Structure 1
Amino acid sequence: MPVVVVTDSSSRLPASLTDAHGIAQVPLHLSLDDGIEYLEGVDSVPSDVVTMPGVTTSGASLADLRRAYEEALDRSGGDGVVAVHMSRRLSGTWSAARLASDALDGAIRVVDSRSVGVSLGLTTMAAVQAAEAGASRDEVYEATVRAAATAESMLCVHSLDNLRNSGRLGIAGHLLGSALSIKPILHMSDGLLALRERHRTMTKAMAKMIDAAVEVADGEPVTIGVQHCQNPDLASEVLDTVTRRLDDVVSTLTVDLGPVLGTHVGPGAVGVSLAHGLDPLD
Protein backbone atom coordinates (compact mmCIF):
# COMPACT_ATOMS: atom_id res chain seq x y z
CA MET A 1 0.00 0.00 0.00
CA PRO A 2 1.26 3.55 -0.65
CA VAL A 3 2.62 5.70 2.15
CA VAL A 4 -0.28 7.05 4.23
CA VAL A 5 -0.56 10.81 4.76
CA VAL A 6 -1.86 12.46 7.93
CA THR A 7 -2.60 16.15 8.47
CA ASP A 8 -4.64 18.26 10.88
CA SER A 9 -8.02 19.91 10.51
CA SER A 10 -6.48 23.32 9.77
CA SER A 11 -5.70 21.97 6.29
CA ARG A 12 -9.42 22.35 5.52
CA LEU A 13 -9.36 19.52 2.98
CA PRO A 14 -12.90 18.49 2.01
CA ALA A 15 -14.19 14.98 2.56
CA SER A 16 -14.17 14.41 -1.20
CA LEU A 17 -10.35 14.47 -1.09
CA THR A 18 -9.68 12.93 2.32
CA ASP A 19 -12.00 9.99 1.63
CA ALA A 20 -10.72 9.39 -1.89
CA HIS A 21 -7.07 9.39 -0.82
CA GLY A 22 -7.27 7.96 2.69
CA ILE A 23 -5.98 11.14 4.36
CA ALA A 24 -6.42 11.34 8.13
CA GLN A 25 -7.19 14.80 9.55
CA VAL A 26 -6.51 15.10 13.28
CA PRO A 27 -8.91 17.61 14.88
CA LEU A 28 -7.90 20.92 16.41
CA HIS A 29 -9.65 22.07 19.59
CA LEU A 30 -12.00 24.96 20.30
CA SER A 31 -13.11 26.03 23.79
CA LEU A 32 -15.86 28.48 24.82
CA ASP A 33 -15.65 30.53 27.98
CA ASP A 34 -18.49 28.47 29.51
CA GLY A 35 -16.26 25.41 29.45
CA ILE A 36 -17.77 23.71 26.40
CA GLU A 37 -15.15 22.19 24.10
CA TYR A 38 -15.38 21.12 20.46
CA LEU A 39 -13.26 19.04 18.13
CA GLU A 40 -13.04 20.67 14.71
CA GLY A 41 -14.38 18.44 11.97
CA VAL A 42 -15.88 16.05 14.51
CA ASP A 43 -18.37 18.06 16.56
CA SER A 44 -21.07 20.41 15.37
CA VAL A 45 -19.70 23.88 16.17
CA PRO A 46 -22.02 26.93 16.41
CA SER A 47 -21.82 28.99 13.22
CA ASP A 48 -21.39 32.25 15.15
CA VAL A 49 -18.43 31.02 17.19
CA VAL A 50 -16.02 33.22 15.21
CA THR A 51 -17.64 36.31 16.72
CA MET A 52 -18.08 35.00 20.27
CA PRO A 53 -15.95 36.61 22.99
CA GLY A 54 -13.66 34.46 25.09
CA VAL A 55 -13.19 31.66 22.55
CA THR A 56 -9.81 29.91 22.66
CA THR A 57 -8.25 27.39 20.35
CA SER A 58 -5.55 24.78 20.74
CA GLY A 59 -3.68 22.37 18.54
CA ALA A 60 -4.19 18.67 18.00
CA SER A 61 -3.61 16.70 21.20
CA LEU A 62 -0.78 14.25 21.67
CA ALA A 63 -3.28 11.45 22.29
CA ASP A 64 -5.26 12.19 19.11
CA LEU A 65 -2.08 12.44 17.04
CA ARG A 66 -0.66 9.19 18.35
CA ARG A 67 -3.96 7.40 17.73
CA ALA A 68 -4.12 8.70 14.16
CA TYR A 69 -0.49 7.76 13.52
CA GLU A 70 -0.96 4.24 14.85
CA GLU A 71 -4.01 3.71 12.65
CA ALA A 72 -2.15 5.13 9.64
CA LEU A 73 0.82 2.84 10.27
CA ASP A 74 -1.51 -0.15 10.30
CA ARG A 75 -3.10 0.97 7.03
CA SER A 76 0.26 1.55 5.38
CA GLY A 77 1.16 -2.11 5.56
CA GLY A 78 4.75 -1.22 6.40
CA ASP A 79 5.25 1.49 3.77
CA GLY A 80 5.17 4.22 6.41
CA VAL A 81 3.48 7.49 7.29
CA VAL A 82 4.18 11.15 6.54
CA ALA A 83 2.42 13.73 8.73
CA VAL A 84 2.00 17.25 7.34
CA HIS A 85 0.99 19.86 9.91
CA MET A 86 0.43 23.59 10.32
CA SER A 87 3.38 25.86 10.99
CA ARG A 88 5.15 25.16 14.25
CA ARG A 89 5.28 28.91 14.85
CA LEU A 90 1.48 29.16 14.90
CA SER A 91 0.53 26.13 16.96
CA GLY A 92 1.77 23.46 19.33
CA THR A 93 0.51 20.79 16.92
CA TRP A 94 3.91 20.22 15.30
CA SER A 95 5.65 19.79 18.67
CA ALA A 96 2.99 17.33 19.80
CA ALA A 97 3.39 15.52 16.47
CA ARG A 98 7.12 15.11 17.07
CA LEU A 99 6.44 13.69 20.53
CA ALA A 100 3.93 11.26 19.07
CA SER A 101 6.44 10.24 16.42
CA ASP A 102 9.17 9.72 19.03
CA ALA A 103 6.80 7.54 21.05
CA LEU A 104 6.41 5.37 17.96
CA ASP A 105 10.18 5.00 17.56
CA GLY A 106 10.34 7.69 14.89
CA ALA A 107 8.19 5.70 12.48
CA ILE A 108 6.44 8.87 11.35
CA ARG A 109 8.14 11.58 9.28
CA VAL A 110 6.70 14.93 10.40
CA VAL A 111 6.68 17.94 8.05
CA ASP A 112 6.37 21.54 9.21
CA SER A 113 4.36 22.99 6.32
CA ARG A 114 5.25 26.54 7.43
CA SER A 115 1.67 27.41 6.51
CA VAL A 116 -1.94 26.90 7.52
CA GLY A 117 -5.36 26.66 5.89
CA VAL A 118 -5.71 25.82 2.22
CA SER A 119 -1.97 26.22 1.68
CA LEU A 120 -1.39 23.40 4.16
CA GLY A 121 -4.08 21.45 2.33
CA LEU A 122 -2.31 21.83 -1.01
CA THR A 123 1.03 20.82 0.55
CA THR A 124 -0.70 17.78 1.99
CA MET A 125 -1.96 16.91 -1.49
CA ALA A 126 1.63 17.11 -2.77
CA ALA A 127 2.50 14.43 -0.21
CA VAL A 128 -0.47 12.32 -1.29
CA GLN A 129 0.41 12.55 -4.97
CA ALA A 130 4.02 11.54 -4.30
CA ALA A 131 2.83 8.60 -2.22
CA GLU A 132 0.37 7.44 -4.85
CA ALA A 133 3.11 7.65 -7.48
CA GLY A 134 4.99 4.98 -5.52
CA ALA A 135 7.52 7.11 -3.62
CA SER A 136 9.01 5.73 -0.42
CA ARG A 137 8.29 7.33 2.94
CA ASP A 138 11.49 9.38 2.86
CA GLU A 139 10.90 10.40 -0.75
CA VAL A 140 7.37 11.54 0.14
CA TYR A 141 8.80 13.53 3.03
CA GLU A 142 11.36 15.24 0.77
CA ALA A 143 8.74 16.02 -1.90
CA THR A 144 6.48 17.53 0.75
CA VAL A 145 9.25 19.71 2.18
CA ARG A 146 9.94 21.03 -1.33
CA ALA A 147 6.25 21.75 -1.87
CA ALA A 148 6.06 23.61 1.43
CA ALA A 149 9.09 25.72 0.53
CA THR A 150 7.55 26.92 -2.75
CA ALA A 151 3.96 27.49 -1.58
CA GLU A 152 2.64 31.05 -1.38
CA SER A 153 -0.29 32.17 0.72
CA MET A 154 -1.99 35.56 1.18
CA LEU A 155 -5.04 36.68 3.12
CA CYS A 156 -7.15 39.84 3.32
CA VAL A 157 -8.99 40.33 6.59
CA HIS A 158 -12.07 42.50 6.93
CA SER A 159 -11.37 43.51 10.54
CA LEU A 160 -8.30 43.38 12.77
CA ASP A 161 -10.29 42.66 15.93
CA ASN A 162 -9.98 38.87 15.84
CA LEU A 163 -6.28 38.98 15.00
CA ARG A 164 -5.61 41.37 17.85
CA ASN A 165 -7.54 39.26 20.32
CA SER A 166 -5.90 36.03 19.20
CA GLY A 167 -2.32 37.31 19.36
CA ARG A 168 -1.62 35.92 15.88
CA LEU A 169 -0.36 39.18 14.35
CA GLY A 170 3.22 38.02 14.80
CA ILE A 171 5.83 40.43 13.48
CA ALA A 172 3.15 42.52 11.75
CA GLY A 173 1.62 43.74 14.99
CA HIS A 174 3.73 46.82 15.50
CA LEU A 175 3.19 47.89 11.88
CA LEU A 176 -0.58 47.82 12.10
CA GLY A 177 -0.69 50.13 15.10
CA SER A 178 -4.14 51.43 15.94
CA ALA A 179 -5.43 51.90 12.40
CA LEU A 180 -8.40 49.59 12.84
CA SER A 181 -9.98 50.76 9.59
CA ILE A 182 -7.20 49.49 7.34
CA LYS A 183 -7.58 46.33 5.28
CA PRO A 184 -4.28 44.45 5.40
CA ILE A 185 -2.95 41.85 3.02
CA LEU A 186 -1.21 39.28 5.19
CA HIS A 187 1.05 36.49 4.03
CA MET A 188 2.99 33.59 5.46
CA SER A 189 6.59 34.58 6.09
CA ASP A 190 9.00 32.19 7.81
CA GLY A 191 6.05 30.31 9.27
CA LEU A 192 4.32 33.37 10.69
CA LEU A 193 1.47 35.57 9.57
CA ALA A 194 3.02 38.89 8.53
CA LEU A 195 1.97 42.11 6.88
CA ARG A 196 2.50 42.31 3.12
CA GLU A 197 0.53 45.48 2.31
CA ARG A 198 -2.22 47.60 3.81
CA HIS A 199 -5.02 49.51 2.12
CA ARG A 200 -7.93 51.73 3.00
CA THR A 201 -10.67 49.59 1.46
CA MET A 202 -11.36 45.89 1.07
CA THR A 203 -11.87 46.38 -2.67
CA LYS A 204 -8.37 47.83 -3.08
CA ALA A 205 -6.83 45.16 -0.86
CA MET A 206 -8.50 42.35 -2.84
CA ALA A 207 -7.33 43.83 -6.15
CA LYS A 208 -3.76 44.07 -4.91
CA MET A 209 -3.86 40.52 -3.53
CA ILE A 210 -5.00 39.22 -6.91
CA ASP A 211 -2.23 41.20 -8.63
CA ALA A 212 0.27 39.62 -6.25
CA ALA A 213 -1.06 36.13 -6.97
CA VAL A 214 -0.66 36.66 -10.72
CA GLU A 215 2.88 37.90 -10.17
CA VAL A 216 3.75 34.90 -8.01
CA ALA A 217 2.39 32.47 -10.61
CA ASP A 218 4.73 34.02 -13.19
CA GLY A 219 3.08 32.22 -16.09
CA GLU A 220 3.85 28.75 -14.67
CA PRO A 221 1.28 25.99 -14.11
CA VAL A 222 -0.24 26.47 -10.65
CA THR A 223 -2.93 25.06 -8.44
CA ILE A 224 -5.05 27.80 -6.87
CA GLY A 225 -6.57 27.53 -3.41
CA VAL A 226 -9.05 30.14 -2.19
CA GLN A 227 -10.10 30.26 1.45
CA HIS A 228 -12.65 32.41 3.23
CA CYS A 229 -14.39 32.95 6.55
CA GLN A 230 -18.14 33.11 5.96
CA ASN A 231 -17.65 34.97 2.69
CA PRO A 232 -18.34 32.48 -0.13
CA ASP A 233 -19.55 35.03 -2.68
CA LEU A 234 -16.37 37.11 -2.51
CA ALA A 235 -14.28 33.94 -2.52
CA SER A 236 -16.00 32.88 -5.74
CA GLU A 237 -15.34 36.28 -7.31
CA VAL A 238 -11.68 36.13 -6.35
CA LEU A 239 -11.29 32.64 -7.79
CA ASP A 240 -12.97 33.65 -11.06
CA THR A 241 -10.75 36.73 -11.40
CA VAL A 242 -7.52 34.91 -10.61
CA THR A 243 -8.21 32.03 -12.97
CA ARG A 244 -9.12 34.41 -15.81
CA ARG A 245 -5.83 36.24 -15.41
CA LEU A 246 -3.56 33.19 -15.21
CA ASP A 247 -2.28 31.30 -18.21
CA ASP A 248 -2.18 27.78 -16.79
CA VAL A 249 -4.36 26.78 -13.82
CA VAL A 250 -3.99 23.06 -13.14
CA SER A 251 -6.93 22.90 -10.74
CA THR A 252 -8.65 24.89 -8.01
CA LEU A 253 -9.88 24.34 -4.48
CA THR A 254 -12.15 26.62 -2.45
CA VAL A 255 -12.62 26.05 1.28
CA ASP A 256 -14.15 27.72 4.31
CA LEU A 257 -11.55 28.45 6.98
CA GLY A 258 -13.68 26.75 9.60
CA PRO A 259 -14.21 27.61 13.26
CA VAL A 260 -10.63 27.41 14.55
CA LEU A 261 -8.93 29.55 11.91
CA GLY A 262 -12.04 31.69 11.56
CA THR A 263 -11.80 32.60 15.24
CA HIS A 264 -8.37 34.11 14.56
CA VAL A 265 -9.05 35.99 11.31
CA GLY A 266 -12.70 36.93 11.73
CA PRO A 267 -15.69 36.88 9.37
CA GLY A 268 -15.20 38.30 5.88
CA ALA A 269 -11.59 37.22 5.40
CA VAL A 270 -10.61 35.88 1.96
CA GLY A 271 -7.26 34.50 0.88
CA VAL A 272 -5.42 33.00 -2.08
CA SER A 273 -2.76 30.29 -2.05
CA LEU A 274 -0.67 28.98 -4.94
CA ALA A 275 1.08 25.65 -5.27
CA HIS A 276 3.47 24.54 -8.01
CA GLY A 277 4.04 21.02 -9.27
CA LEU A 278 0.70 19.45 -8.36
CA ASP A 279 -1.24 17.17 -10.64
CA PRO A 280 -4.97 17.94 -11.00
CA LEU A 281 -6.87 17.40 -7.77
CA ASP A 282 -9.54 14.70 -7.90
Structure 2
Amino acid sequence: MPERRIAVVTDSPASVPAELADQHGIVVVPLQVIVGATSYDEGVDEGASPEMVAQALREFTPVSTSRPTPTRMGEVYASLAEQGYTEIVAVHLSSKMSGTFDSAEVAARSSPIPVHTVDSLQVGPATGYAALAAAAVVEAGGSAEEAAEAARARAAACASLFYVDTLEYLRRGGRVGAAAALLGGALAVKPLLTVIDGKIESLEKVRTAGRALARLEELAAQGAGENRVEVTVAHLASPDRAQALADRLSARVALAEPARIVELGAVLGAHAGPGVVAVCVAPALD
Protein backbone atom coordinates (compact mmCIF):
# COMPACT_ATOMS: atom_id res chain seq x y z
CA MET A 1 0.00 0.00 0.00
CA PRO A 2 1.21 3.54 -0.71
CA GLU A 3 2.28 5.64 2.24
CA ARG A 4 -0.64 7.53 3.78
CA ARG A 5 -0.08 11.27 3.97
CA ILE A 6 -2.85 13.43 5.43
CA ALA A 7 -3.00 17.21 5.01
CA VAL A 8 -4.96 19.53 7.31
CA VAL A 9 -6.55 22.60 5.70
CA THR A 10 -8.30 25.50 7.40
CA ASP A 11 -9.23 29.12 6.61
CA SER A 12 -7.71 32.47 7.52
CA PRO A 13 -10.45 33.47 10.04
CA ALA A 14 -9.39 30.44 12.11
CA SER A 15 -6.60 32.71 13.39
CA VAL A 16 -3.95 29.98 13.57
CA PRO A 17 -0.66 31.83 14.19
CA ALA A 18 1.67 31.49 11.20
CA GLU A 19 4.37 29.79 13.27
CA LEU A 20 1.93 27.13 14.49
CA ALA A 21 0.57 26.55 10.99
CA ASP A 22 4.12 26.05 9.75
CA GLN A 23 5.06 23.82 12.68
CA HIS A 24 2.09 21.49 12.15
CA GLY A 25 1.88 21.73 8.37
CA ILE A 26 -1.59 23.29 8.36
CA VAL A 27 -2.56 24.85 5.02
CA VAL A 28 -4.46 28.13 5.46
CA VAL A 29 -6.81 29.21 2.67
CA PRO A 30 -7.44 32.98 2.71
CA LEU A 31 -10.84 34.60 2.62
CA GLN A 32 -11.17 37.93 0.86
CA VAL A 33 -11.88 41.33 2.34
CA ILE A 34 -13.13 44.09 0.06
CA VAL A 35 -12.25 47.65 1.12
CA GLY A 36 -13.91 50.20 -1.11
CA ALA A 37 -13.58 48.69 -4.57
CA THR A 38 -10.41 46.67 -3.90
CA SER A 39 -10.32 42.99 -2.92
CA TYR A 40 -7.48 41.55 -0.83
CA ASP A 41 -6.59 38.04 0.30
CA GLU A 42 -6.51 38.00 4.10
CA GLY A 43 -3.05 37.33 5.45
CA VAL A 44 -1.49 37.59 1.97
CA ASP A 45 -1.92 41.16 0.79
CA GLU A 46 -0.59 43.96 2.95
CA GLY A 47 -3.62 46.09 2.18
CA ALA A 48 -5.90 43.74 4.09
CA SER A 49 -4.24 44.43 7.45
CA PRO A 50 -6.44 44.69 10.56
CA GLU A 51 -5.26 48.29 10.99
CA MET A 52 -6.45 49.23 7.52
CA VAL A 53 -9.83 47.59 8.07
CA ALA A 54 -10.31 49.32 11.43
CA GLN A 55 -9.54 52.69 9.85
CA ALA A 56 -11.87 52.04 6.93
CA LEU A 57 -14.71 51.15 9.28
CA ARG A 58 -14.19 54.29 11.32
CA GLU A 59 -14.28 56.38 8.14
CA PHE A 60 -17.42 54.58 6.87
CA THR A 61 -15.55 53.23 3.85
CA PRO A 62 -17.51 50.19 2.59
CA VAL A 63 -15.95 46.95 3.87
CA SER A 64 -17.23 43.49 3.01
CA THR A 65 -15.92 39.94 2.89
CA SER A 66 -16.05 37.02 0.49
CA ARG A 67 -15.49 33.29 0.80
CA PRO A 68 -12.95 31.38 -1.29
CA THR A 69 -14.65 29.94 -4.36
CA PRO A 70 -15.01 26.19 -4.92
CA THR A 71 -12.51 26.61 -7.77
CA ARG A 72 -9.95 28.09 -5.39
CA MET A 73 -10.53 25.29 -2.90
CA GLY A 74 -10.17 22.77 -5.69
CA GLU A 75 -6.81 24.26 -6.64
CA VAL A 76 -5.61 23.81 -3.05
CA TYR A 77 -6.72 20.18 -3.01
CA ALA A 78 -5.12 19.46 -6.40
CA SER A 79 -1.86 21.05 -5.27
CA LEU A 80 -1.77 18.88 -2.15
CA ALA A 81 -2.40 15.78 -4.26
CA GLU A 82 0.51 16.75 -6.50
CA GLN A 83 2.69 17.07 -3.39
CA GLY A 84 1.97 13.44 -2.54
CA TYR A 85 -0.79 13.75 0.02
CA THR A 86 -3.36 10.97 -0.07
CA GLU A 87 -6.17 12.50 2.05
CA ILE A 88 -7.24 15.92 3.32
CA VAL A 89 -9.04 17.04 6.48
CA ALA A 90 -10.61 20.46 5.86
CA VAL A 91 -11.69 22.31 9.02
CA HIS A 92 -13.66 25.51 8.44
CA LEU A 93 -15.66 28.21 10.16
CA SER A 94 -19.36 27.76 10.73
CA SER A 95 -21.46 27.13 7.63
CA LYS A 96 -24.16 29.27 9.28
CA MET A 97 -21.92 32.35 9.10
CA SER A 98 -19.94 31.82 5.90
CA GLY A 99 -20.10 29.95 2.62
CA THR A 100 -16.52 28.72 3.06
CA PHE A 101 -17.60 25.25 4.22
CA ASP A 102 -19.97 24.97 1.25
CA SER A 103 -17.08 25.82 -1.10
CA ALA A 104 -15.01 23.10 0.55
CA GLU A 105 -17.78 20.53 0.11
CA VAL A 106 -18.33 21.42 -3.55
CA ALA A 107 -14.59 21.23 -4.27
CA ALA A 108 -14.30 17.94 -2.38
CA ARG A 109 -16.61 16.24 -4.90
CA SER A 110 -14.09 16.65 -7.70
CA SER A 111 -10.89 16.43 -5.64
CA PRO A 112 -8.30 13.92 -6.88
CA ILE A 113 -7.92 12.66 -3.29
CA PRO A 114 -10.52 12.16 -0.53
CA VAL A 115 -11.43 15.28 1.47
CA HIS A 116 -13.02 14.98 4.92
CA THR A 117 -14.84 18.27 5.51
CA VAL A 118 -15.47 19.53 9.05
CA ASP A 119 -18.01 22.25 9.82
CA SER A 120 -16.59 23.53 13.10
CA LEU A 121 -19.81 25.44 13.90
CA GLN A 122 -17.38 27.96 15.38
CA VAL A 123 -15.58 31.09 14.30
CA GLY A 124 -12.15 32.56 14.94
CA PRO A 125 -9.66 30.85 17.27
CA ALA A 126 -12.10 28.03 18.13
CA THR A 127 -11.94 26.87 14.51
CA GLY A 128 -8.16 27.13 14.73
CA TYR A 129 -8.07 24.98 17.86
CA ALA A 130 -10.16 22.39 16.01
CA ALA A 131 -7.68 22.36 13.12
CA LEU A 132 -4.80 21.95 15.57
CA ALA A 133 -6.60 18.98 17.14
CA ALA A 134 -6.84 17.36 13.71
CA ALA A 135 -3.13 18.00 13.09
CA ALA A 136 -2.24 16.41 16.44
CA VAL A 137 -4.09 13.21 15.50
CA VAL A 138 -2.34 13.09 12.12
CA GLU A 139 1.05 13.60 13.75
CA ALA A 140 0.29 10.74 16.14
CA GLY A 141 -0.41 8.41 13.21
CA GLY A 142 -4.20 8.55 13.33
CA SER A 143 -6.52 8.28 10.35
CA ALA A 144 -8.19 11.13 8.53
CA GLU A 145 -11.54 10.07 9.96
CA GLU A 146 -10.11 10.18 13.49
CA ALA A 147 -8.57 13.60 12.82
CA ALA A 148 -11.89 14.96 11.55
CA GLU A 149 -13.72 13.61 14.59
CA ALA A 150 -11.12 15.14 16.94
CA ALA A 151 -11.63 18.50 15.25
CA ARG A 152 -15.40 18.32 15.68
CA ALA A 153 -15.09 17.29 19.33
CA ARG A 154 -12.66 20.06 20.24
CA ALA A 155 -14.70 22.69 18.42
CA ALA A 156 -17.81 21.60 20.31
CA ALA A 157 -15.93 21.83 23.61
CA CYS A 158 -14.64 25.37 22.97
CA ALA A 159 -16.22 28.44 24.54
CA SER A 160 -16.19 31.50 22.26
CA LEU A 161 -17.11 34.80 23.91
CA PHE A 162 -17.09 38.30 22.43
CA TYR A 163 -17.40 41.88 23.59
CA VAL A 164 -18.17 44.50 20.97
CA ASP A 165 -18.38 48.25 21.40
CA THR A 166 -21.40 48.33 19.08
CA LEU A 167 -23.60 45.88 17.18
CA GLU A 168 -23.58 48.17 14.16
CA TYR A 169 -20.80 46.37 12.28
CA LEU A 170 -22.42 42.98 12.83
CA ARG A 171 -25.69 44.47 11.59
CA ARG A 172 -24.01 45.77 8.42
CA GLY A 173 -22.71 42.28 7.68
CA GLY A 174 -26.06 40.64 8.35
CA ARG A 175 -24.85 38.76 11.45
CA VAL A 176 -27.43 40.33 13.78
CA GLY A 177 -30.80 41.89 13.07
CA ALA A 178 -31.37 45.61 12.59
CA ALA A 179 -33.80 45.74 15.52
CA ALA A 180 -31.26 44.26 17.94
CA ALA A 181 -28.56 46.68 16.79
CA LEU A 182 -30.90 49.66 17.03
CA LEU A 183 -32.03 48.68 20.51
CA GLY A 184 -28.45 48.23 21.67
CA GLY A 185 -27.48 51.65 20.39
CA ALA A 186 -30.53 53.35 21.88
CA LEU A 187 -29.92 51.87 25.32
CA ALA A 188 -26.14 52.40 25.13
CA VAL A 189 -25.61 48.84 26.32
CA LYS A 190 -22.43 46.88 25.81
CA PRO A 191 -23.30 43.46 24.41
CA LEU A 192 -21.60 40.19 25.23
CA LEU A 193 -22.00 37.58 22.50
CA THR A 194 -21.29 33.89 22.12
CA VAL A 195 -21.46 31.19 19.46
CA ILE A 196 -24.30 28.69 19.86
CA ASP A 197 -25.00 26.01 17.27
CA GLY A 198 -22.86 27.82 14.74
CA LYS A 199 -24.51 31.23 15.12
CA ILE A 200 -23.63 34.41 16.99
CA GLU A 201 -26.12 34.85 19.82
CA SER A 202 -26.61 37.51 22.47
CA LEU A 203 -25.38 36.37 25.86
CA GLU A 204 -25.73 39.35 28.19
CA LYS A 205 -25.95 43.14 28.06
CA VAL A 206 -24.15 45.41 30.50
CA ARG A 207 -23.91 49.16 30.84
CA THR A 208 -20.20 49.92 30.61
CA ALA A 209 -17.16 48.61 28.77
CA GLY A 210 -15.37 47.98 32.06
CA ARG A 211 -18.20 45.83 33.39
CA ALA A 212 -18.47 44.02 30.07
CA LEU A 213 -14.80 43.05 30.09
CA ALA A 214 -14.97 41.97 33.74
CA ARG A 215 -17.95 39.80 32.90
CA LEU A 216 -16.11 38.38 29.88
CA GLU A 217 -13.30 37.33 32.21
CA GLU A 218 -15.74 35.72 34.64
CA LEU A 219 -17.54 33.77 31.92
CA ALA A 220 -14.26 32.56 30.41
CA ALA A 221 -13.03 31.42 33.82
CA GLN A 222 -16.32 29.57 34.40
CA GLY A 223 -15.93 27.91 31.00
CA ALA A 224 -12.47 26.68 31.96
CA GLY A 225 -13.49 25.41 35.37
CA GLU A 226 -10.77 23.24 36.93
CA ASN A 227 -9.68 21.81 33.57
CA ARG A 228 -6.37 22.41 31.83
CA VAL A 229 -7.13 24.67 28.90
CA GLU A 230 -5.66 26.81 26.18
CA VAL A 231 -6.79 30.42 25.85
CA THR A 232 -6.65 32.92 23.01
CA VAL A 233 -7.62 36.55 23.46
CA ALA A 234 -8.28 38.32 20.17
CA HIS A 235 -8.98 41.97 19.50
CA LEU A 236 -9.22 44.67 16.87
CA ALA A 237 -7.52 47.96 17.74
CA SER A 238 -7.73 47.16 21.49
CA PRO A 239 -4.32 45.75 22.48
CA ASP A 240 -4.41 47.08 26.04
CA ARG A 241 -7.82 45.57 26.77
CA ALA A 242 -6.69 42.24 25.31
CA GLN A 243 -3.44 42.17 27.29
CA ALA A 244 -5.22 42.99 30.54
CA LEU A 245 -7.79 40.26 29.98
CA ALA A 246 -5.11 37.69 29.10
CA ASP A 247 -3.13 38.59 32.21
CA ARG A 248 -6.14 38.22 34.50
CA LEU A 249 -7.20 34.91 32.97
CA SER A 250 -3.66 33.57 33.22
CA ALA A 251 -3.85 34.05 36.97
CA ARG A 252 -7.24 32.32 37.24
CA VAL A 253 -7.23 29.24 35.01
CA ALA A 254 -4.99 26.20 34.55
CA LEU A 255 -3.22 26.95 31.30
CA ALA A 256 -1.59 24.17 29.29
CA GLU A 257 0.18 26.83 27.20
CA PRO A 258 0.71 30.57 27.75
CA ALA A 259 -2.35 32.59 26.74
CA ARG A 260 -2.14 33.81 23.15
CA ILE A 261 -2.98 37.38 22.21
CA VAL A 262 -3.79 37.93 18.55
CA GLU A 263 -5.22 40.76 16.52
CA LEU A 264 -8.32 39.65 14.69
CA GLY A 265 -7.76 39.30 10.99
CA ALA A 266 -9.33 41.62 8.48
CA VAL A 267 -12.30 39.35 7.74
CA LEU A 268 -13.52 38.92 11.32
CA GLY A 269 -12.57 42.49 12.17
CA ALA A 270 -14.73 43.75 9.33
CA HIS A 271 -17.80 42.24 11.00
CA ALA A 272 -17.00 42.89 14.67
CA GLY A 273 -15.55 46.39 14.33
CA PRO A 274 -12.86 48.30 16.23
CA GLY A 275 -12.91 47.71 19.97
CA VAL A 276 -13.91 44.06 19.84
CA VAL A 277 -12.33 41.76 22.40
CA ALA A 278 -12.92 38.02 22.09
CA VAL A 279 -11.77 35.12 24.21
CA CYS A 280 -11.71 31.45 23.28
CA VAL A 281 -11.26 28.73 25.88
CA ALA A 282 -10.31 25.32 24.46
CA PRO A 283 -9.64 22.04 26.27
CA ALA A 284 -5.96 21.12 26.33
CA LEU A 285 -4.94 18.40 23.87
CA ASP A 286 -2.87 16.41 26.36
C-alpha displacement at 1:160, in angstroms?
Answer: 2.0
| 8 A contact 1:4–1:76 mirrored in 2 | no
CA contact (8 A) 2:12 2:30 kept: yes
Paired with 1:148 and 1:106, the residues of 2 have a C-alpha distance of 25
Q: Which residue of 1 aligns with 2:272?
A: 265
Q: Does 1:147 align with 2:147?
A: no
How far apart are residue 77 of structure 1 and its match?
3.5
Query: Equivalent residue of 2:251, what SS?
Result: helix
Give SS of 1:227's match: strand
Percent of aligned pairs with the same residue? 35
Given that residues 73 and 81 in structure 1 are in contact (C-alpha distance below 8 angstroms), is that contact kept between their aligned partners in structure 2?
no
Quote the offset at 1:231 in angstroms: 1.3
Task: Give the match for residue 87 of structure 1.
Answer: 94
Instruction: Give the partner amino acid of 1:36.
Output: T
Aligned-residue offset at 1:17: 0.8
Aligned to 1:60: 68
1:29 paired with 2:36, answer no
Tell me if the contact between 2:7 and 2:85 (Cα under 8 Å) persists in the aligned partners: no
Q: State the distance in 2 between where 1:38 and 1:175 align.
A: 30
* Residues in 1 aligned to 2:228 and 2:208: alpha-carbon distance in whole angstroms: 31
CA distance 1:275–1:2, change in 2 (3 Å): farther
| Higher mean C-alpha displacement, 96-105 vs 265-274 | 96-105
Gaps of 5+ in 1: none
Q: Report the more deviating stretch, 65-74 or 14-23.
A: 65-74
Query: In 1, distance between residues paired with 2:66 and 2:17?
Result: 21
Letter in 1 for 2:14: S
Which residue identity lines up with residue 72 of structure 2 in the other structure? Answer: D
| Residue 9 (1) aligns with residue 15 (2) | no
Q: Structure 2: give runs of 5+ residues left out of the alignment.
A: none
The one of 24, 32, 41 equivalent to 2:43 is 41
Task: Give, in whole Å, the separation in 1 of the partners of 2:250 and 2:275.
Answer: 21
* Corresponding position of 1:135: 142
1:236 corresponds to which letter in structure 2?
Answer: Q
The equivalent of 1:189 in structure 2 is: 196
Paired residue type of 2:42: E
Report how far residue 125 of structure 1 moved.
0.8
Counterpart of 2:9 in 1: which secondary structure?
A: strand
| Contact persistence 2:134–2:148 (CA under 8 A) | yes
1:69-91 CA distances to partner (integer Å, 9 max, x unpaired)? 2223344542x110000100000
2:280 is paired with a residue whose SS is strand
Q: Summarize the Cα distance change of 1:242–1:76 in structure 2 as closer, same or farther, 3 Å threshold.
A: farther
Aligned to 2:256: 250
Q: Using the alignment, how far apart are the partners of 2:133 and 2:179 within structure 1?
A: 35
Partners of 1:194 and 1:10 lie apart in 2 by 19
1:229 aligns with 2:231: no
Deviation at 1:106, TM superposition (A): 7.0
Q: In the alignment, residue 246 of structure 2 is paired with which amino acid?
A: L
Counterpart secondary structure, 1:178: helix
Any idea what SS the aligned residue of 1:212 has? Answer: helix
Indicate if the aligned counterparts of 1:27 and 1:60 stay in contact, CA closer than 8 A: yes
Moved more, 81-90 or 56-65: 56-65
Structure-2-length-normalised TM-score: 0.90
User: Residues of 1 paired with 2:175 and 2:182: CA distance?
Assistant: 14
Q: Name the amino acid aligned to 1:59.
A: R
Evaluate the alpha carbon distance shift between residue 76 and residue 152 of structure 1 in structure 2; reply closer, same or farther with a 3 A threshold.
Answer: farther
**Aligned mates of 2:124, 2:18 — CA distance in 1:** 15
RMSD: 1.7
